[in-house]
Amino acid sequence: MPEQSPLVPAEGDPFGPHNLPYGVFSTADEPDRRRLGVRIGDQVLDAGAAANALGSPYAALLDRPSLNPLMAAGRTAWRDVRRALTAWVTVPAHRADIEPLLHPLTAVTLHLPYKVADYVDFYASEHHATNVGRIFRPDGAALTPNWKHLPIGYHGRAGTIVVSGTDVVRPSGQRKAPSDPAPVFGPSGKLDIEAEVGFVVGTPSPQGTAVESASFRDHVFGLSLLNDWSARDIQAWEYVPLGPFLGKSFATSVSAWVTPLEALDAARVAPPARTDALLPYLDDADDEEPGGFDLRITVSLNGQVISEPPFSAMYWTAAQQLAHLTVNGASLRTGDLFASGTVSGPAREERGSLLELTWNGTEPLELPDGKRTFLEDGDEVTLTAWAPGPDGTRVGLGEVTGRIVSG
């Protein structure tokens, strides 16, 4: 029996030709040379070398050290390049040219796949926002009066977006418990995770022009998993009245793989029913396709699954978030990253942060290596996810991992 081609992943592999996420990699023999890659099974295809070997007109977009040129090329180019890549990895006649350009995933180093322009983080899960409200405002309304009228968010720090596998240094800052007479300075004692999904902008928009939710596909290139690390004690002292700052800006981890939106057509779902009327620019009732995504996320702490948040439960969609962040005329730039906010579902085992899972430390998690309220030095957190794909397949979204080290 002939040996199976590495271009033919095992049946059920979530990184088959129906997926083809993009990343940037380097090899041990050329560690300083970054190349655009496409994942197929447990292999990484050098996309630029493939384009040159086959005389493709897309070599100028693929033979690059980052995704930014391809993302900036626009939706037509994204579609055409994806069709070409699909043919290169599935048509047997191309195997002789393509197979020598594959690199085992275990033999490459993955890098941040694009240059981040701006970073915005939202607060789009009603379950998460309700839990947080109940924790910090037990005698008041769980949701703030504006929550169901607009996607709440804050502008983060693009320079501290790091790729999966990067250690996260425990941040220090001011904190003050309600019983403390004065603030103190030191390392955070309430370091947390936030299981999120990040959306990456490709096509820019001019300043002074709003982008409608229906134009989501024209501007957003793809998505990836994201962990918005949060120092809850620093955040609690600083966030009034302007919101998150040092409690968030020290690190945000993203997956090394960006899944193109076209790979997720079968995962599109309607968002939860809205209980309040929406202003016209956020009303997506007439959009051609549903704005939600059925993404199944798993959160593991030191190898132990602690949560499985469902992205389909998110109240505000990424298309509405895009419309809101540009409605004042703010421009989009290639490489802009906007995150969903913590993904949480209605069940306890679906909460996407330790703040919720331990109810602000009052209900510790029981793990094989001991109890946890918040993260300890040496803890490693991994987010993985998959989505329904065409014909019963699964689309893998890669992973985002980070390990806590002392500052």
Q: What is the model's pLDDT at position 3?
A: 65
Q: Sorting pLDDT into bands at 50, 70 and 90, what band is 1? A: very low
pTM for this entry: 0.97
Q: What is the DSSP letter of 375?
A: -
Task: List the helix and strand counts (H, then E) for the chain.
Answer: 10, 26
Q: Is the dihedral of CA 230, 382, 308, 290 positive or negative?
A: positive
User: For the segment 196-249, what is each residue's pLDDT rounded down to a tens digit?
Assistant: 999 999 999 999 999 999 999 999 999 999 999 999 999 999 998 989 999 999
Q: What average pLDDT does the segment 281-294 reach?
A: 93
The full length of the chain comes to 407
Q: DSSP strand E in 17-160: where?
A: 22-27, 30-40, 43-46, 102-104, 108-111, 119-122, 153-155
pLDDT band at 402 (very low <50, low <70, confident <90, very high): very high
- Catalytic, 111? Answer no
List of residues 6+ apart from 259 with CB closer than 8 A: 19, 21, 222, 223, 224, 395, 397, 398
Strand partners, 336: none
The dihedral built from the CA positions of residue 130, 132, 135 and 138, taken in this order, carries a sign that is: negative
- In angstroms, the Cα distances linking 250 to 2, 116, 320 are 52, 15, 27
Angstrom distance (rounded) from CA 362 to CA 30: 50
Catalytic residue among 111, 128, 219, 324: 128
Distance, CA of 310 to CA of 356 (rounded, Å): 15
- Tell me the per-residue pLDDT of 42-80, one tens digit each, with 9 for 90 and over: 999 999 999 999 999 999 999 999 999 999 999 999 999
Q: Using the predicted structure, report yes or no on whether residue 4 has a pLDDT greater than 90.
A: no
C-beta separation of 37 from 45 below 8 A? yes
Cα separations in angstroms, 138 against 132, 353, 387: 10, 19, 35
* Distance of alpha carbon 80 from alpha carbon 58, whole angstroms: 9
> For the segment 151-210, what is each residue's pLDDT rounded down to a tens digit?
999 999 999 999 999 999 999 999 998 889 999 999 999 999 999 999 999 999 999 999
